[in-house]
């Protein structure tokens, strides 16, 4: 007998993870770990679930595709991508969009693709009554429409638009460095930002986790 079918919301996320194109062994290992967690934990989207939970994040580009918006996270004390807890919502693209809009104060944010851009697994210290646990982060490629003027939220010390050359010279974590590398490769393959953005937008659209 084959593997039993999972409820739609987990099954669709697993289908997206199966299509995910890792760029190195660590990236591939994170994808496998997330898939195993989603497959075996029915409460994977529940923020209060003690072993850990799936989160949604945004690699948020400006209108030109040449800068990314990062937050200097108040609790973590470092520059990271925008994102946060699913709070039980299995539609992780919607989670990434919501978190990007809430954390940046920019309403005009749209997805460039419905497929997963990056993944990551990391431990997080206990907070707000939760013990230390793991985050299984699903990241999407989003873009701001307009001038990108942001408003700093209570969760951040600061927000900032960064060029990819600028990021290369900064001490950022591996996830930010890898996502920067992925987008820079897309820019190089497309001979510039406009071509890369057009290529992403024209890729086949997949079903979301609705």
Over residues 158-203, the pLDDT tens digits come to 999 999 999 989 989 899 999 999 999 988 876 567 777 777 776 6
Q: Of the ranges 7-16, 31-40, 59-68, which one carries the lowest mean pLDDT score?
A: 7-16
- Tokens representing 188 are 């190089």
Over residues 55-75, the pLDDT tens digits come to 999 999 999 999 999 999 777
Fold of 8-123+133-202: Nucleoside Triphosphate Pyrophosphohydrolase (3.90.79)
**Tally of helices (H runs) and strands (E runs) in the chain:** 6, 8
Q: Distance between CA atoms of 27 and 190, rounded to whole angstroms?
A: 23
- Tokens representing 73 are 């996270």
> Does the global pTM surpass 0.85?
yes
Domain ranges of the chain: 8-123+133-202
Name the phi and psi angles at 79, rounded to 5.
-80, 125
Answer yes or no: are the C-beta atoms of 104 and 60 closer than 8 Å: yes
Distance of CA 38 to the CA centre of its chain: 16
pLDDT over 80 (residue 109): yes
Residues near 107 by Cβ (< 8 Å), separated by ≥ 6?
101
């Amino acid at each position: 007998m084959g593997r039993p079918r999972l409820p739609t919301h987990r099954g669709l996320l697993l289908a997206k993870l199966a299509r995910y194109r890792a760029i190195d062994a660590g990236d591939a290992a994170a994808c496998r770990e997330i898939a195993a967690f989603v497959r075996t934990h029915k409460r994977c989207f529940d923020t209060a679930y003690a072993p850990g939970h799936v989160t949604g994040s945004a690699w948020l580009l400006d209108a030109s595709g040449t800068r990314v918006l990062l937050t200097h996270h108040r609790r973590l004390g470092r520059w990271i991508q925008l994102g946060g807890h699913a709070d039980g919502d299995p539609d992780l693209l919607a989670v990434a969009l919501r978190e990007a809009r809430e954390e940046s104060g920019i309403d005009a944010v749209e997805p460039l693709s419905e497929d997963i851009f990056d993944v990551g697994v990391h431990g997080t210290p206990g907070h707000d009554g939760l013990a230390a646990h793991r985050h299984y982060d699903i990241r999407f490629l989003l873009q701001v429409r307009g001038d990108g003027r942001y408003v700093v939220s209570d969760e951040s010390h600061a927000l900032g638009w960064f060029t990819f050359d600028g990021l290369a010279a900064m001490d950022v974590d591996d996830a930010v460095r890898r996502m920067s590398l992925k987008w820079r490769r897309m820019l190089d393959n497309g001979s510039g930002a406009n071509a890369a953005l057009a290529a992403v937008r024209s890729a086949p659209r997949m079903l979301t986790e609705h």
